[in-house]
Amino acid sequence: MSRSDECARVARAVRPSRAIFLAAHEHPDADAVGSLLALRSMLLSLGKTVHAATPDPPPDRFAFLEGFDAITTGPPPWPADLAIALDCDGADRLAALEAPLMAAGTVVDIDHHCGINTFGDIRWVVSDAASTASLVVELGDALGLSPTADQAAALYLGLIGDTGGFRFTNTSPEALRLGAELVAAGANPAELARRIFSIRPLSAALLEARALASLDMAIDGVLIASLTQRDFAETGAVPSATDGLIDSFRDVVGVRAAILLKEGEPGVWQVSLRGNGLDVAAVAVGFGGGGHVFAAGFTIEGELDEVRARVLDAVAPALHEGTSDA
């Protein structure tokens, strides 16, 4: 089935639905939050009852977006006709929201990750789309909706978040055209770029210093850093303070893979991977994770030294495999 056919199928599921549950992944990023808020606004304009949630509270730096305060961390208080999961790369990334979302009458998976963890009754997963926000724009078109200025801002934020401000390898002609369309619809590119890439609290700068202090070229071409619970506690930084940090590590001369280990709970590590011509998604899948070819992640348990060794052992063989342009 073609991309447009799948989109039309999602639109057909939306039209008769009255109560819709929207959810995005744990530790929501710009694409998750932007897609969630834009689609919520679109559905409200169609007269739908909409509940929007993420397993973890969205970062405060997105609080300027219209509808931000409506995002909850729990399921709707009513049974949903339709549930739509956004940007999840697998139902398990919905955490505590997975069971209530899967209990809806119809479940839709809208995503742009690699597509091996699809779920639900309707699976609209387009791995070559630049962002999930891009797919929300297509769905709006299929529903006969043009983005308002507020919706365009949320969608543009999602687009630049996942393309790194149009610097990553998923920056296609399609993505650039979409960016122009969203700017024409009212998104302010300079202000949105400043908010997502530049503004940060002191705690985030202090946390970056901790990460830099741990930085190590453990294997030739592999840069690794770690942040413990103590680092977060002593700097007062929130988990989202690391957004974009690993991308700066990937940009170091000679780096083919960058790894960031973040301790979320005692002995539980969120591992982020970035590759320069290196398929890090294959590494992540080996640990039960996923993502994009050059940007992926997973969760692992253990002591820091043990986790560090296991991850490096998994990345090392990939260094000797074929590469492609990053």
Cα 8 vs. chain centroid, distance in angstroms? Answer: 24
Which positions ≥6 away from 208 have C-beta within 8 Å? 241, 245
Which positions ≥6 away from 51 have C-beta within 8 Å? 19, 20, 21, 22, 72, 75, 76, 77, 78, 80
pLDDT in tens, 62-109: 999 999 999 999 999 999 999 999 999 899 999 999 999 999 999 999
Closest CA to 260 of 224, 291, 236, 306: 224
Q: Is 165 left (phi over 0), alpha (psi -120 to 50) or beta?
A: left
Phi, psi angle pair for 108, to nearest 5°: -115, 135
Q: CA-to-CA distance for 200 and 190, rounded, in angstroms?
A: 16
pTM for this model (two decimals): 0.85
Q: How far is CA 9 from CA 17, 140, 143, 161, in A?
A: 13, 13, 11, 27
The pLDDT of residue 99: 98
Rg of the chain over all Cα atoms, to the nearest angstrom: 19
Measure the CA dihedral 308/94/126/174, to 10°: -80
pLDDT at 323 over 50: no
pLDDT in tens, 209-258: 999 999 999 999 999 999 999 999 999 999 889 988 999 999 999 999 99
Interstrand relation of 82-86 and 122-125 (parallel, antiparallel or unpaired):
unpaired
- Tokens at 174, concatenated: 């399609």
- Domains of the chain as residue ranges with CATH: 3-197 (3.90.1640.10), 202-320 (3.10.310.30)
Closest CA to 293 of 31, 27, 115, 28: 115
Phi, psi angle pair for 294, to nearest 5°: -110, 10
Helix axes 149-163, 189-197, angle to 10 degrees: 50
pLDDT at 115 over 80: no
Confidence band for 324, pLDDT divided at 50, 70 and 90 = very low
- Tokens at 91, concatenated: 């139902």
Phi, psi angle pair for 238, to nearest 5°: -95, 160
Helical segments of 128-169, H only:
132-142, 149-163
pLDDT at 39 over 60: yes
Q: What percentage of the chain reaches a pLDDT higher than 70?
A: 98
Q: CA-to-CA distance for 171 and 129, rounded, in angstroms?
A: 9
Find out whether 226 and 249 touch, Cβ atoms under 8 Å: no
The pLDDT of residue 283: 95
Q: CA-to-CA distance for 264 and 26, rounded, in angstroms?
A: 12
Q: CA-to-CA distance for 144 and 11, rounded, in angstroms?
A: 10
pLDDT in tens, 133-149: 999 999 999 999 999 99
Residue written as token pair 């002609």: 173
pLDDT at 116 over 90: no
The pLDDT of residue 31: 97
Q: What average pLDDT does the structure give for the chain?
A: 94
The pLDDT of residue 244: 86
